[in-house]
Structure 1
Amino acid sequence: MDEFWALVEASATATDTPDERLAWLTDRLAGRPAADAVDFAVLLDGLRRQVDTWRHWAAALVVCGGLCSDDGFHYFQAWLVGLGRDAFARVAADPDALAEVPQVRRLAGRSPRDWAEDEWPDWEGLDYVADEAYERITGVVDGLDEVVEAGGIELSASPDPVDEEWDVHDRAELARRYPRLAGMFPLPARGREWVWETARP
């Protein structure tokens, strides 16, 4: 786990763009034993399960103005990992701690329709880093999935929140659960629900 976080955090300081960061991570992982690529995928999966909750999904909805579909939340979980070990731990324990994250603070007061592509709180590409590295190391296409499944592990492909579901459109409940985020981002209008978009604007 220490090596996992060291790689993730180093990728943020060694590169300037999300695409460069993914390429950096893939290159570094591809230079290691195949078992490390497998471990990377399994550790990433375990971390994202820590934030696969309705509490975190609703927080993502607040930040994104309701624009957080199933896929969007899956990629949001990976983005949380990309924040680094300390920030991830704080948000895993309390989703309202997103209000302290600089990348989130920069979005406050702006419509999601005005966000640049690399500002969105998602990191879809992180899901493919271990697969690509494993293929480079072994020459086997889709080989990582087979190895992981042989070990009795099924990697998450979509959200499956483990906590009790609640009305994430309830304005009063959102304000109660996320006082700091609610002060930064507009909540849904009273008596109305967010439209859960399947694609960003």
Structure 2
Amino acid sequence: MDKNEFWQIIDSTKQASQGDQQRQQQALISCLESYPPEQILEFECQLRQHVLEADTFLIMAAQKIIDGYVSEDPYLYFRCWLVGQGEAVFTEALRNPDSLAALLEEPYQEFEALLYVAGMAYAARTGKQTEDDTFPRAVAITRGLDYADSVTKGEDWTENQLPKMLPRLWRKFGTL
């Protein structure tokens, strides 16, 4: 599965679910179950590559403004949410995180469940009920796609820089 097919799956399930993450999660699992196990593994690797790509200080600043804080798990789940929004939103947010102001109405956006769709589809497709080193998560980690090893890219910031860094998000969600 290449990058284009990955985004096609994300975009089509996002559209079909009409913004309901539980429906999107189920649609992703159903879609992936129809793929050979090797392609489900590739979906997981693509997902992880994009989540790691979004590990930037600017994306972290956006999450800080939106949620009021940043910590490890919520920051990971926020990046999953960003991937789950589809290619256009993801690409634009990486280019300009302030663009998220036009998309969001409420703080705290997360899509933790996206982390589990490949594993669930793989289990259903292969009939394996217990995770082992053939499962998507384990394969991706052996390929060096581990969130724990991620190094945030870009320049770090201080809280007093946030209003000028991302002014539209700051006007909508910011407080010091």
TM over 0.5: yes
1:44-73 deviation line (CA, Å, top 9, x unaligned): 11111221012111111101122x321001
Preserved CA contact (<8 Å) 1:70 1:158: no
Larger radius of gyration: 1
Alpha-carbon distance in structure 2 between the residues aligned to 1:100 and 1:50: 22
Q: What is the letter of the counterpart of residue 161 of structure 1?
A: T
1:88 deviates by 0.7
Structure 2 residue 164 is the aligned partner of structure 1 residue 161: no
Contact map agreement 1:74 1:158 (CA 8 A) in 2? no
Aligned to 2:34: 31
Q: Which has the higher helix share?
A: 2
TM-score (norm 2): 0.86
Aligned counterpart, 2:172? 184
Q: What residue number does 1:132 align with?
A: 120
Are 2:136 and 1:148 equivalent residues in the alignment? no
CA distance in 2, matches of 1:162, 1:122: 21
Q: Cα 1:62–1:149, aligned 2, differ >3 Å: closer, same or farther?
A: closer
- Percent identity reads 28
Equivalence map 1:1-201=2 (5 Å): 1-16=3-18, 17-66=20-69, 68-101=70-103, 104=104, 106-107=105-106, 120-140=108-128, 141-142=130-131, 143-144=134-135, 145-150=137-142, 152-157=143-148, 160-167=151-158, 169-170=159-160, 173-188=161-176
Aligned length: 169
- Cα distance 1:34–1:14, how it changes in 2: closer, same or farther (>3 A)? same
TM-aligned CA deviation for residue 155 of structure 1? 2.8
| Deviation readout 1:138-191 (Å, 9 max, x if unpaired) | 2333232343345x3333258641333332x22xx1111111111212321xxx
Task: Give the AA of the match of 1:50.
Answer: E
8 Å contact from structure 1 (residues 26, 129) kept in 2: yes
- Provide Cα deviations, 1:82-120, integer angstroms capped at 9, x if missing partner: 11111110101111111122xx1x22xxxx5xxxxxxx4
Which segments of 5 or more consecutive residues in structure 2 lack a partner in the other structure?
Answer: none
